[in-house]
């Protein structure tokens, strides 16, 4: 498992600034976070609710009738509850892989937080691929 994290704080490589990264440095509960331009860590807290069958993607299709697992697709949706500032102290590793074959690139960053604020962001040596 992992969490998703958007980084609005300036990264060393502008080409990936708009991408959503993964991290296993937090709770790894498929949560969504943002590192703000001013260096705060924000958790976008959600609750989950059941989606009525008629609103699910395969409802009314042959897959709905013939493939029971298709009935579970889209059965839950995230409902935003609010944002929570997380006073993180320590490092978070962000990573993303882009492209394929000879165009493949991996970007990995270490983000140092001290008392809830970014101190610095550095590209990890393992992130140069």
| Contact assessment for residue 83 and residue 45, using Cβ atoms and an 8 Å cutoff | yes
Cβ-Cβ contacts under 8 Å for 3 (sequence gap 6 or more) = 22, 23, 24, 26, 27, 28, 29, 30, 31, 32, 33
Residues 1-36 pLDDT 10s: 999 999 999 999 999 999 999 999 998 889 999 999
Q: Report CA-CA distances (Å) from 93 to 44, 65, 71.
A: 19, 44, 36
Residues 71-88 pLDDT 10s: 999 999 999 999 999 999
pLDDT of residue 92: 97
46: its two tokens: 């959600």
Q: What is the DSSP string of 47-58?
A: EEEEPPGGGSTT
pTM: 0.81
Cβ-Cβ contacts under 8 Å for 15 (sequence gap 6 or more) = none
* In the chain, where the domains are located: 3-46+80-127
Q: How far apart are CA 62 and CA 10, in angstroms?
A: 48
40: its two tokens: 């705060």
């Amino acid at each position: 498992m992992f969490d998703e994290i958007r980084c609005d704080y300036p990264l060393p490589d502008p080409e990936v600034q708009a991408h959503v990264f993964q991290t296993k440095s937090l709770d790894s509960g498929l949560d969504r976070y943002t590192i703000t331009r001013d260096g705060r860590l924000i958790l976008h807290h959600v609750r989950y609710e059941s989606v009525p069958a008629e609103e699910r993607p395969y409802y009314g299709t042959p897959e709905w009738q013939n493939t029971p697992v298709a009935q579970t697709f889209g059965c839950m949706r995230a409902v935003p509850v609010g944002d929570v500032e997380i006073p993180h102290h320590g490092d978070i590793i962000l990573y993303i892989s882009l492209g394929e074959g000879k165009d493949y690139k991996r970007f990995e960053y270490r983000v140092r937080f001290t008392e809830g604020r970014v101190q610095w962001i550095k590209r990890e040596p393992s992130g140069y691929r």
